[in-house]
Chain A
Amino acid sequence: MSQPSSSTSSSERPLTRRRAALIVLWTLLGLALIDVGVNVAFAYPSDPKITSVGQLPAYFEYGRSIEGKLDRITRADPSETAPITLVGWYEPLRSDAIGGAPGGPMVSFYGMSHSVRLSQALVRTTHRYQSRSVGAPGATANWAFGAFLRDRDRKQSKVAVLSIMSLNAPMVATMTAMTWNSAFPMPYTTDRFVLAGNGLRTVRLPYESFGSFTRLFYNETAWAGVRQQFERFDAYYDTFLFRRSILDRSATLRLVRRAYGLHLERNARARVMDDRGFHGGTEEIRLLNGIVRAFAQQARSDGIVPVIFVINNYGYGAHLYDALKDTLATCEIPYLSSHTIVSPSDPRNYLPDTHFTDTNDDRLAMALEQVVDAQLARGRTAFQPAARCPPSPVARDTAVSS
């Protein structure tokens, strides 16, 4: 082949304004055709009970507004709604008895799936402890602490383990798993803690159960009030991502919204951390430290040994531990940081879904057992707050409570 020519052939017509306008029109028409084609070919199932959705329908659904997605998956009748809408609620707070040695000391876990897996691994690797788990999918540190505070059975435990992970550490300043997880919103709510002097102030939404959520969600005026709370207190709330609109009908515009959502998420994450670690001065990291301190104080005052499980996700190094280590040391809070057992830079230590492999869960559980053994052997001194650790009271903001 010769070098390609840059000449135009006789079959090409010169570009006139009319021709340019026609090209634009045909392009728009083409986009409309593709849009309709995608909506028809990769239609998302309307039945919320269908959980195995194809990859392509899910892909083109990511950019639907959060309210639009909730519309699709939520039904007022719990037997008809999507299972994901029923999990993670504070009311009723669900705890799972994992098992273990009957009559053995109880270890309660609060957190996300990593936390549940560790509770299961503890039962697998030791026969001396009982294990129970209070969890929600993707639970943030504020959810876990809120669950601990609400757990009426916590005083039966000898040890309480609060799980915090680097992946969602920046989401500690949110009120619900809708806002920070716009691709797969889950309607459950979380306590929003706000720094107040040495302690924390709690801001609560006017609903904490699935039933009250659906009542509010289907009441336009009441839901508008909830949105206002999100706007005011939730760091991840964004009107364009959240509110349902006619844009939801277009596959093309859903792609735009998805890109926008990811852009916001990257920015929010970048505000809190970079390749070198978490930024200690940000509200999120100060909140995490405040939650750790308040959790330890509350547990100790209840006669429970507090343990912080620091989950360093793949690619995050020991950044989360670094962000918390001063508080852990000053307040003498027992902890298990995964980086001491599982290298966060080796992908072989993790499953494709970001969890640790079963083997590593077992190794972590054995390390946790050592931490717990050491604390219980110390007896009452394990429950005494460290002298250097300032008191961290938790006050409740009644302005937004139900």
Chain B
Amino acid sequence: MHPGAIPAAIVGDPSRPPIVKPILPWVFLGILVVLAIAGIWYGIVTRMPEHRRRKASLLTSVVCQLSLLGVFKYFNFFAETFVTGLHGLGIEANPVLISVILPVGISFYTFQSLSYAIDIYRRQFEPTDRFFDFALFVSYFPQMVAGPIERARHLLPEFQKRRVITLAQSSRGLYLIMLGMFKKVAIADGVAPSVNQVFGSTGVVTSADVIGGTLLFAVQIYCDFSGYSDIARGVSKLFGIDLMLNFNLPYFAKSPREFWRRWHISLSTWLSDYLYKTLGGNRGGLAFICRNLMITMLLGGLWHGAAWNYVLWGFYHGSLLSVHRVWTYGRDNAATESRNLLLGAAKIGFFFLFTLYGWLLFRANSLSQVVDFSRLIFTDFGSLDYGAAIPRLSALAGIPVLAAMELAEYNLDNRYWYRRLPLPLFGLLCATLLFLTLMGTSNEPAQFIYFQF
């Protein structure tokens, strides 16, 4: 374990008010310590034979961890919703709200810690006695604040094994860091002002603005989030640690099911393993499966943030998955997989439109904005004037480069496609990425979107 990892992981947002800044890192550290103690205690208890104690211990661990998440992330949201509901019934009440800064990465390390407890309960993983290894698992700095959400059965052995850092691993790590920086600095930060202008506008917004802004947000969130994951994986490789793949060409998905196998893989597999399957998964009729899908995606949406548009986004994706499940129920997916390139491209394009609308729900600042923007693009399609800012030059040049790279990866069906390139061409590719990243360094820096979750 790297001794500096835990302190490095608890540094909060430096732009917060200075009065609370000196105190909060210790609060955050306290949360980590509590989580670590809860986890290790559970590991010890589960070695005892009593079946009931195992269950009780699991329940204790889950309740403790979800309580922390609930207090920090959802308390105000539910309190305000409850009071709004009371107002709707004509009952006057003032919500009791807590004023607290959301600890950085709490959603990520809570889920990570939960997976440890559940895996042990399911006897899929032997508990560890080594506190610092477990603490490092919870607070491992490259992925702590925005994932990937690692499983203990994968990451703890990575810490405990004797690590040999090879040239191939280091160079792959550097390539991933370079790629992640390119995605974030050149593209995501380059389109952010245009997106912010559309979704933050208090003035007149046209249909073209909404479509353009949503399309650019699709680019932004992918490059921002997958860029972070690439950097986290790249940094880890420099330490000889392999983190799981979190994104796998998500915009090449032809269906909602495929999308969730490609987008935020560590969250979707977590939800599948620990929520969907616990609810019964596919073991039942179509209605039962759809119910499980809806619950899973609603909670998955809520995981992102305490706001109704995230719930709506989860509901939307749950609906897409359910409709798709009904559509494909009883069919052999492999047999229906078309090899026709044009048809495949059409399917990708068609499903991408659904993905885009999902991003509108995700990015909207309020439910009223969802309604207004939806009206503009579905029923009140008026002006085609695009008045929002044009993305920065680094993004305009970077997007085609990234699209070409991903197309090559998709067509060659090989994540390491670039290794097949002749050295001069690969060198030119690296130079292009570096140059575009340097162009992007002039963009206004923006915090990673998933830091807020």
Contacts and interface: CB of A to CB of B under 8 A. Distances in A.
Interface string A219-258: 0000000000000000000000000000000001001101
A3 B424 CA distance: 29
B350 interface: no
Contacts of A27: 427-428, 430-431, 434
B124 interface: no
Given A26-B424, A347-B201, A4 B409 contact: yes
A14 interface: yes
Contact of A20 (B167, B344, B409): B167
A25 B439 CA distance: 21
Q: Is the interface of B mostly helix, strand, loop or mixed?
A: helix
A5 B442 contact: no
B256 to A, nearest CB: 16
B427 A30 contact: yes
B96 interface: no
A79 interface: no
Contacts of A11: 420
Contacts of B204: 348
B414 A4 contact: yes
A47 to B, nearest CB: 25
Interface residues of A, number: 44
A26 B415 contact: no
Contacts of A31: 431, 434-435
Contacts of A259: 438, 441-442
Interface string A263-297: 00000000000100000000000000000000000
Interface string B191-204: 00000000001111
Contacts of B201: 347
A62 interface: yes
B410 interface: yes
A19 B427 CA distance: 11
A40 to B, nearest CB: 15
A235 B430 CA distance: 38
Given A4-B415, A6-B415, A259-B441, A17 B167 contact: yes
B92 to A, nearest CB: 31
Contacts, number: 107
A259 B420 CA distance: 34
A22 interface: yes
A329 interface: no
Contacts of B252: 1
A34 B432 contact: yes
Contact of B248 (A4, A9, A345): A4
A52 interface: no
B413 A4 contact: yes
B438 A256 contact: yes
B423 A22 contact: yes
B419 A12 contact: yes
A19 B428 CA distance: 15
Contacts of A373: none
A62 B252 CA distance: 38
Contacts of B439: 255
Contacts of B427: 22-23, 25-30
B168 interface: yes
A20 B442 contact: no
Contact of A34 (B344, B420, B431): B431
A27 to B, nearest CB: 4
Contacts of A346: 202-203
Given A1-B410, A259-B438, A347-B201, A12 B416 contact: yes
B168 A15 contact: yes
A117 B209 CA distance: 31
Interface in A4-62: 4-9, 11-17, 19-20, 22-23, 25-31, 33-35, 56, 59, 62
Contact of A30 (B413, B420, B431): B431
B328 interface: no
A203 B278 CA distance: 75
A19 B419 CA distance: 11
Given A1-B413, A6-B415, A255-B442, A26 B428 contact: yes
B44 to A, nearest CB: 37
Given A4-B248, A255-B438, A347-B203, A19 B423 contact: yes
Contact of A23 (B409, B413, B426, B441): B426
A359 to B, nearest CB: 15
Given A8-B416, A15-B167, A15-B168, A26 B423 contact: yes
7 contacts: A4-B410, A6-B416, A17-B167, A20-B171, A23-B427, A26-B423, A347-B201
Given A22-B427, A23-B430, 19 more contacts: A1-B344, A3-B248, A4-B248, A5-B415, A12-B416, A12-B420, A13-B419, A16-B167, A23-B171, A26-B426, A26-B430, A27-B431, A30-B427, A30-B432, A34-B431, A56-B393, A59-B393, A259-B441, A346-B203
